[in-house]
Amino acid sequence: MSDDELFFVEQDGRQITLAHLPPRDLEDWEPNHKAMVVAAVRHGLITVDDACRRYNLSTEGYLCWYRCYAPPSADG
């Protein structure tokens, strides 16, 4: 399976692929953009390292997003 075929399914049934992720050069980040990146990592579409490189984030920056946007059940 190629990267183009990878996806996860959102709660509303939509298939999310890499093409659905926020653009790499996004300047005006909204909560839904951050939540989408966290969901993509949680569901294995991209890794934490990929997300950090793609969006010029530190690991600490990603973890801040995770704490804000991952569902409570994701922690345990």
> Residue 54: CB partners within 8 Å, gap ≥ 6?
21, 24, 46
Buried b (16+ CB within 10 A) or exposed e, 12-34: eeeebeeeebbeeeeeeeeeebb
pLDDT of residue 3: 58
Question: 54 — phi, psi (to 5°)?
Answer: -60, -40
What predicted TM-score, i.e. pTM, was given to this entire model?
Answer: 0.86
- Per-residue pLDDT of the chain in tens (76 residues, 90 and over written 9): 555 679 999 889 999 999 999 999 999 999 999 999 999 999 999 999 999 999 999 999 999 999 999 988 755 5
